[in-house]
Chains A and B, each alone.
Chain A
């Protein structure tokens, strides 16, 4: 079966523009996570979805960032008025139901590299 896919793989935009990044999780995975990874750093949590609802958006840096998952499958991360500091790789991961007594492996997509000029 297919893994997690993300589109586009690369996105170059100008400061102030709006961008959308898409994530297609593994079929049947109810939990979906967005992370941001800067050069030389580990992934940094942004937001978690259980089904259609954002259960934890505490990692979103400010109100320019927003994410949706309207049908409980595909998710879109939206960034308004992009800034140069938003340049990073945005990773999406999915897993089976989250929060059980055992660790549910997060499967990561290849990421979208965002460059804000």
Chain B
């Protein structure tokens, strides 16, 4: 059956504060890195991506930072809102056999305290 006792890393943030979610990746050949948000009972939803030749990309209230030297990715959410509460997954894309293969990392649960 499903594993029990698995604990997602959890980040608790006060509403209005900034959130930073971190991720380590493994494949040096990955050419894109992606952040997904998953709310309870739903499938993952795309937030933002960054190409491997960039080190920063900004979206609406979100910024992704990429440090290829240490294989580290972070997602910054500005002015965190209750609707940001979800599990966040980083993912890496590699092109394999002419198609894209996306590998997901472990998630981080973001809890926004009103």
Contacts and interface: CB of A to CB of B under 8 A. Distances in A.
B59 interface: no
Nearest to B32: A103
A41 B9 CA distance: 11
A13 to B, nearest CB: 13
B1 interface: yes
A16 interface: no
Interface residues of A, number: 37
Chief secondary structure at chain B's binding surface: strand
Contact of B6 (A4, A41, A103): A41
Nearest to A98: B99
A28 interface: no
Interface in A64-117: 84-85, 87-88, 91, 93, 95, 98-100, 102-111, 116
A40 B43 contact: no
Contact of A40 (B7, B42, B98, B100): B7
B3 A40 contact: yes
A85 B3 CA distance: 9
B99 A103 contact: no
B105 A42 contact: yes
B102 A106 contact: yes
Contacts of B83: none
Contacts of A85: 1
Chain B CB within 10 Å — which of A84, A93, A103, A111 has the most?
A103
A30 to B, nearest CB: 10
Given A38-B2, A39-B2, A40-B7, A99 B43 contact: no
Given A109-B43, A111-B43, A98 B100 contact: yes
Contacts of B7: 40
A88 B2 CA distance: 7
B43 A103 contact: no
Interface of A: 4, 31, 33, 35, 38-45, 48, 50, 55-56, 84-85, 87-88, 91, 93, 95, 98-100, 102-111, 116
Interface of B: 1-4, 6-8, 32, 34, 41-46, 49, 51, 89, 91, 93, 95-107
